[in-house]
Amino acid sequence: LVSDGERQQTTEPDRPGDLLNLIRTGRARTRGELGQVTGLARSTVAQRIDALIDAGLVVEVGGAPSTGGRPPSLLGFNADAGLILAADLGATHSRIAVCNLLAESLAETTAEIDINSGPDVVLAWLEETFDGLLAEIRRSPGEVRGIGIGVPGPVDYAHGVAVNPPIMAGWHMHPIKDRFASRYGAPVLVDNDVNIMALGEYWVMEPKVDDFVFVKVGTGIGSGLILGGVLHRGANGAAGDIGHVRASSDDVVCRCGNNGCLEALAGGAAIAGRLSDSGLEASGSRDVVRLVERGNDLATRSVRDAGRLIGQVLASTVNLLNPSMIMIGGDLARAEQQLLAGIREVVYQRSTTLSTTDLSIIVSSLGDRSGVIGAAAMAIDHIMTPRAVDEALAGAG
Amino acid sequence: LVSDGERQQTTEPDRPGDLLNLIRTGRARTRGELGQVTGLARSTVAQRIDALIDAGLVVEVGGAPSTGGRPPSLLGFNADAGLILAADLGATHSRIAVCNLLAESLAETTAEIDINSGPDVVLAWLEETFDGLLAEIRRSPGEVRGIGIGVPGPVDYAHGVAVNPPIMAGWHMHPIKDRFASRYGAPVLVDNDVNIMALGEYWVMEPKVDDFVFVKVGTGIGSGLILGGVLHRGANGAAGDIGHVRASSDDVVCRCGNNGCLEALAGGAAIAGRLSDSGLEASGSRDVVRLVERGNDLATRSVRDAGRLIGQVLASTVNLLNPSMIMIGGDLARAEQQLLAGIREVVYQRSTTLSTTDLSIIVSSLGDRSGVIGAAAMAIDHIMTPRAVDEALAGAG
């Protein structure tokens, strides 16, 4: 009953769905490697791989270098075995894509649409857009295996509904899933915009870090937490809400009803408001970035100061979660030099020494595509759970 | 390849170690239930249960009500199949126990020992104490299957060493595991005091909440985070360190070198210091509690104010993690009325509405026994991973 001190707590994979995930993530590339990793008998591996090949999920992609005898065939995940529909719906700006099963975009478009037009208008438009993109690449709605949608407000993930979203008029408790689930006969996953951005960045990250905080600094401020390799949503799907942490004893009133909230002081809307009060032309985050890029002093100082305030809240986050990486995204991240400088200054000063030992603070690698990739990743992770794969195989057999 | 929207992401159990955990946690009590939960064939379940019975880990504990025919036998986890040694080493006060495999104490003792005596003195004493407790219940060191130890400072969990602990002179990087691992031939797990307290409370919690923050308010202040049912340690084992979050713009200098830290303002040592400056007799948390219990006004107000400051930091924690429960432990939690009132006042005012929807804030249920139970639980969780059980069975067979 004894075991060594460093053993992993995870269950070892030994079912067809598990084998598929080993191949999909590149952790095993031949039947022999699958046997080594799982400890399964050669005959068992062969049988399970045959089932995955029959289902079209795994393909033989050529020979691997042999150590003598017939070269073993390389196994590959067939990313074309189905399609994923992905949408990153923003307040005024959306990005929609049709992806393969590796979250690689096959067709993609952006559009200006006001989320406050309400769910009927926006979702009808989204349906048309999905169909248009499918037609563009001559693929059929029947090939859709999963749908991921991000929205700019708090989401009850289990039920796929927005809950009292402050900027999404008419969306409270609207059943977003139903329309798409019945139309495409595939599972629909819905989450807030920041969580899908975190998922998107984690999806492409190489090597992956298990504890990672994604911070979106746009009109508002929010974060998505990847902890132990899994997105942490919390009891009500409200986790990551750093925008309403008290960042100052100032009496600035926030749209949430409290005062001194980080977002009300350091969000893009707040900065633009202050610049506008000083006579500059700024109505949102993008205008702020434009002014910084043109070298405007006041805008530059404002962004730097915002970075310091964000850094103050992130310093507490670092003490609490001890992540390996903080990644900054959102519109204001385009003013990266100033914003990052302010954040780093305060985090490294205010967090404990141990918790910043291996901490890196960087800007988003995907920019405004992180959300749509994350929406696809969310759907793929869902349909690729070992159990879902096994049930699909059983259903097909 | 489709699946319903609510499917769990976990791998289904289907190995002997998995079956043992279903029995151990009461999720299945007969061979029939094991078959239903796992989907395994009747013959496979029977074979695997036989192996667990042969190994002494499972026992048949009598008949279950039958639905016709021979009554199925009830299966029970044999908590006496081995012993666990558990130690909660505090700054000046320690609690040591010998437990069964359900973390139930078979023999237990407390002692005043100064952690600053250094690892040689303290660990030699601990070894003697373990042996004394084993002798007391006439059990042999050969029956020890795991050892869990908590220490009052930051721990690199993977290596089982304290890292620059502020109050543990001589312990930096000392190989705590080695002495016990070789003496008892069993795995040794080491973590900080607050993490094992969180594990202990989670172990006895019924029903369990998946997202849970344990806060220790004693001489210092720290927290242990159970997220998604798993203790979150962070990249360097430093997670949960809320004591050094900036809680005030005051210039109070903290032992960590920064100023305005929560611990320097609201920890038991800080409160005692202020009361002592006002002419009261108070040299630590316990004196503060004594003064509050006697109805001293200044002490009562000081604890209430400390609760408010702690609440301020916890409000940010709630916004960030959206836990279902915050549990307050440590010496100062004995002044629970005043401390909780201050904490609740600020958390419910400062956290977002959604994140406090289902939040409860309560005091520790185990009091000063949470640490030693958690130390045992940490060791049991480690040796009861499905893989560890399977390897033990393979080794025995």
Q: What's the CA gap between B55 and B384, in Å, rounded?
A: 14
Q: What's the CA gap between B377 and B104, in Å, rounded?
A: 10
**Number of Cβ within a 10 Å radius of residue B251:** 7
Using one digit for the tens of pLDDT, what is the confidence trace for A34-56? 888 877 788 888 988 998 999 89
| pLDDT at position A15 | 62
Taking the model in full, what pTM does it have? 0.90
Q: Which neighbouring-strand residues pair with A108? A: A97
| pLDDT at position B9 | 32
β-strands A188-192, A212-217 pairing: unpaired
B238: nearest CB among A55, A228, A322: A322
CA dihedral in degrees (B256, B258, B261, B265; nearest 10)? 80
Measure in Å the smallest separation between the Cα of B372 and chain A Cα atoms.
20
B2 touches chain A (CB under 8 A): yes
On the question of pLDDT at B11 being above 50, the answer is no
User: Which regions in chain A score pLDDT beneath 70?
Assistant: 1-15, 63-70, 396-397
| Phi, psi (deg, nearest 5) at residue B240 | 90, 0
Q: What's the CA gap between B215 and A315, in Å, rounded?
A: 19
To which H or E segment does residue A36 belong?
helix A31-38
**Cis status, amide bond into A141, omega within 30 of 0:** no
| Phi, psi (deg, nearest 5) at residue B210 | -75, -30
- If contacts are CB pairs under 8 Å, which of residues 342-371 in chain A contact chain B? 349-350, 352-355, 357-359
- If contacts are CB pairs under 8 Å, which of residues 221-260 in chain A contact chain B? 223, 225, 227-228, 230, 232-242, 244-246, 249, 256, 258
The identity of residue A235, as a single letter, is A
| pLDDT at position A2 | 31
Helices A176-184, A119-136: inter-axial angle, 10-degree rounding? 30
On the question of pLDDT at B353 being above 90, the answer is no
| pLDDT at position B66 | 63
CA dihedral for B6, B11, B12, B17, sign (positive or negative): negative
- Give the Å distances, CA to CA, from B8 to A157, A381, A383, B12, B119: 13, 11, 11, 9, 45
Q: How confident is the model at residue B83 (pLDDT cuts 50, 70, 90)?
A: very high
To which H or E segment does residue B214 belong?
strand B212-217
A82: nearest CB among B1, B246, B388: B1
Helices B42-54, B16-24: inter-axial angle, 10-degree rounding? 80
Choice among A109-118, A219-228, B71-80, B368-377 with the minimum mean pLDDT: B71-80
Q: Note whether B246 contacts A312, CB cutoff 8 Å.
A: yes
A238: nearest CB among B238, B242, B322: B322
Of all residues in chain B, what percent carry a pLDDT higher than 70?
93
On the question of pLDDT at B380 being above 90, the answer is yes
- Give the Å distances, CA to CA, from A164 to A155, A169, A190, B320, B353: 9, 9, 15, 18, 10
Mutate to test the interface with A, among B15, B184, B319, B350 (most CBs of A within 10 A): B319
Q: Note whether B350 contacts A230, CB cutoff 8 Å.
A: no
What mean pLDDT do residues B282-301 have?
94
- Report the chain A residue with the minimal C-alpha distance to residue B245: A316
Using one digit for the tens of pLDDT, what is the confidence trace for B121-168? 999 999 999 999 999 999 999 999 999 999 999 999 989 999 988 889
- Is A328:A339 a contact under the CB 8 Å cutoff? yes
Q: What's the CA gap between B314 and A4, in Å, rounded?
A: 37
Q: Note whether B391 contacts A3, CB cutoff 8 Å.
A: yes
| pLDDT at position A38 | 77
On the question of pLDDT at B67 being above 70, the answer is no
A11: nearest CB among B242, B323, B386: B386
| pLDDT at position A65 | 66
Q: What is the mean pLDDT of chain B?
A: 90
| pLDDT at position B14 | 53
Of all residues in chain B, what percent carry a pLDDT higher than 90?
70
Which tokens in the block code for residue A72?
A: 């073993």
Q: What's the CA gap between B316 and B245, in Å, rounded?
A: 10
Distance in Å from the first CA to the final CA of chain A: 39
| pLDDT at position A250 | 76
- If contacts are CB pairs under 8 Å, which of residues 106-125 in chain A contact chain B? none
Q: What's the CA gap between B225 and B211, in Å, rounded?
A: 8
